[in-house]
Amino acid sequence: MKQIYYILFLAGLLSSCSNGSEENKRLPFLGRFEVVTNEEGGKKVVDTIHHQIPQFNFLNQDSAMVNNATMEGHIYVSDFFFTSCLTICPTMKGQMLRVYDSLEANNLNDVLFLSHTIDPAYDTVPLLHEYANRLGVSSQKWHFVTGDKKAIYAIAKNGYLATAVEDSTVQDGFIHSGAFLLIDKKGHIRGRYDGTKPEDVNVLIQDIKKLNQTYEK
């Protein structure tokens, strides 16, 4: 017998920044979760099913398909942006480059990056290719993806628990989250960080190392 008896929604309420002072504290799982009781051999077995990133299929800057299988087995950092953004995106990309460079320096070459454009009509594959080249990053490690706008907005909201909407009343015409999301090898959200704040990004860098160590044991 299987019984789901508790569901909690944590989107944005928990931050791994709160655990930065404790080296060995386990990173939280963010999002909805279900605590499930199974009857096995007359005994109750309790299991927790954590929120996972749903299925997706997008094209990256090299016209290669990027989906869950691409990211499976990798820790990765995700965000939402658009190339013509004049507000927070330049700051976010500068901070994400800090993360990228720090991982290169620490030989954490298995960690990937996934940046979704929220303006796919403008951010074509060739434009994203040019953008990635200007940043000087490897397309094998950092995927800049585009695709169906509704699908991108849906995965922002329902998958990464982030904001991505069109709004003609604001500068640049879009509202989007400045969050960097840390995703583990099974597609669980393990941290949320303000990509415009260096101090938050410092915590992200340390949390990536901490999360990676859990797979080395």
Task: Look at residue 19 and tell me whether its pLDDT is greater than 50.
Answer: no
Q: Which domain holds residue 43?
A: 2-50
Q: Are residues 41 and 61 in the same domain?
A: no
CA 211, 215, 217: angle at the middle one, nearest 5?
115
Whether residue 195 contacts residue 173, with contact meaning beta carbons closer than 8 Å, is answered with no
Which whole number is the average pLDDT over 200-208? 98
- Specify the pLDDT at position 10: 40
Q: Are residues 67 and 151 in the same domain?
A: yes
Phi, psi torsion values for 156, nearest 5 degrees:
-60, -50
Task: Look at residue 8 and tell me whether its pLDDT is greater than 50.
Answer: no
Q: Are residues 32 and 72 in the same domain?
A: no
Specify the CATH number for the domain of residue 120: 3.40.30.10
pLDDT band at 9 (very low <50, low <70, confident <90, very high): very low
Q: Are residues 61 and 43 in the same domain?
A: no
Q: Are residues 89 and 120 in the same domain?
A: yes
Q: Are residues 19 and 69 in the same domain?
A: no
- Specify the pLDDT at position 208: 98
Task: Look at residue 202 and tell me whether its pLDDT is greater than 50.
Answer: yes
